[in-house]
Structure 1
């Protein structure tokens, strides 16, 4: 169930969703921008307050949280696996074409590997420090929920298990610009490796939530991520390069909640 509440210059949307343990969660989901909602509400001084509501359990079928009042904006938060596959099947070769001739093939391959390595660390840092940012700033709380918090409330929504192009393309363009400033045109090959790493990450993430993932490696990846969702959100931040959690001491080692 979704409903708007509050008044004034800010309007949040309240969404109810059911976690795997049956608990009903109420979260602030939209900023068309106002005042009050389940877990969080803004008081008259614009401080984000904590509030926990008790409600009867919802139907166990997957719930979709509405993030925006505007239907056009809401559609920008979805992406199907087919759209994702078609888009990146065109974008990755386009990036390679843009960098063609900047360096010789061997040097290009080396830069692609550098970009892959950079992605794996970026993936960990992004998930740990941006997607799970703890802040008292209302607009940042909304941003974190928009980017990632809603996924924890409805982790198996098939249209929100991949990053939509409305987010991934602007972020990618920014990263490309940074590599170009640092390395010049040859930075396009580092960027290509970075984006290949991103696509691998998102495919692995989707698979963890929607595919059986049989086999030693695939089951290890799925187990690692499911523990992040259902045991401890404060650990197992890596998705595709899970060794970083061991390096930085964030690997979940106990099965106790």
Structure 2
């Protein structure tokens, strides 16, 4: 518990402060600070360094893993067309995971100290500091931990020979998601589709944060009724 009117000191490490906001956390975290300099999370330098990840670490670490899993299915007897179809199916499945996690986990309402703290680490920090370029992608070590249960689930869903390629597709979908997400925040797209996705995502950050949960696609927002009104370019921040 904390006294009413608690104020976060932005000049100090934030993670163990935000929980004290209680019910006021949701309002605070959705008032973005548009600065390319990210805040300090922890006083401890080792913990602080673990919260920062350069975007190119994601394809560097995971694309070789994607290739290994895809080739493994081929080596187990799957044809090249079948491997390609399984990879595409995995990417499609990822788009639903991306939407669901963003909507139901990343935007869960919290108010207790530890729930606020966990939410800030998981996604709240991104909404509070949306231009923090070193906290836009998921640290590979944390992603590796999550891969084990996901791989177990995939093996229950499809045949043993299909599982590696299907998993490769899901992992490739994740890589595309993280790289596209970074680009939408820091890139200046010239292609119409990319311009649309940037407006779409900035709309989620700065106008209607309870809609527009897709990153790589608006497909599931359309399917589940969370598609926001299409913003004009002049109405969104870059």
- TM-score norm. by structure 2 comes to 0.80
Aligned to 1:75: 49
Distance 1:65 1:50, change over 3 A: same
Aligned to 1:161: 136
Alignment counterpart, residue 117 of structure 2, candidates 117, 142, 152? 142
Aligned to 1:16: 10
Q: How far is the alpha carbon of 1:51 from its aligned partner?
A: 7.4
Please show how residues 174-213 of structure 1 align to structure 2 within 5 Å. Answer: 174-185=149-160, 186-213=162-189
Aligned to 2:69: 95
Paired residue total: 221
Distance 1:146 1:83, change over 3 A: same
Aligned to 2:15: 29
Distance 1:97 1:124, change over 3 A: same
Gaps of 5+ in 1: 1-5, 7-13, 18-25, 31-36, 43-47
Counterpart secondary structure, 1:50 = helix
Aligned to 1:227: 203
Aligned to 1:252: 228
- TM-score norm. by structure 1 comes to 0.75
Distance 1:192 1:51, change over 3 A: closer
If each structure's helix is expressed as a fraction of its own residues, which one has the higher value?
Answer: 2
Distance 1:40 1:81 in 2: 28
Counterpart secondary structure, 1:68 = coil
Gaps of 5+ in 2: 3-7
Counterpart secondary structure, 2:10 = strand
Q: Which moved more, 1:76-85 or 1:234-243?
A: 76-85
Distance 1:254 1:15 in 2: 36
Q: What's the Cα RMSD here?
A: 3.0
Distance 1:175 1:105 in 2: 24
If each structure's strand is expressed as a fraction of its own residues, which one has the higher value?
Answer: 1
Q: How far is the alpha carbon of 1:184 from its aligned partner?
A: 4.4
CA deviations on 1:52-99 (whole Å, 9 max, x unpaired) are 9x9xxxx97534222333322222221113322321232222222443
Which one scores higher on RCO, CA 8 angstroms, separation ≥ 6? 2
Distance 1:136 1:157, change over 3 A: closer
